[in-house]
Chain A
């Protein structure tokens, strides 16, 4: 199994809603990541978890809250988002943190109204 699965694939939410994005991998990878990607732009790193501990937070606003319940799961909790937060949110994993090979999920396309 070489997949990273993300749910939901699409999400529309209002600015007062609370929602969560979910990510799962069963490759035994010890590092998991959240990236944000706008159209025609490269992925931007948001968070890195290594061995289930948050190791990098790229100064992301607190309306985004990551959670790593176990080594296979990664969540991103969303609350009071702004329309400019609309983007593709990509989850990725790698054998260890700080390797050059990341496995990305298909992403969750978020629209904030």
Chain B
């Protein structure tokens, strides 16, 4: 079946503008994760959704970042008033259910460039 998809693939924006990044997880996967990969760095956890539970927002770097997951499926990561340090690749992953054993399947990411 289809894997995790993300859109857009690339996004260029001007400093101060808002952006929305979309993630479509694998059908039936209840857990969804967002990570950020800055140039030359590993992946940094941002937020985690599991079913109808309150999301784990502990990785969000500032209140300019927010995310929602509608109907337990599609998720949108919103960055308000973008800054140049927000430039990174934003990766989404999903897994069948929570649990450390369950594999996280990653999407191809969205490369965000803030000018």
- Does A pair with B? no
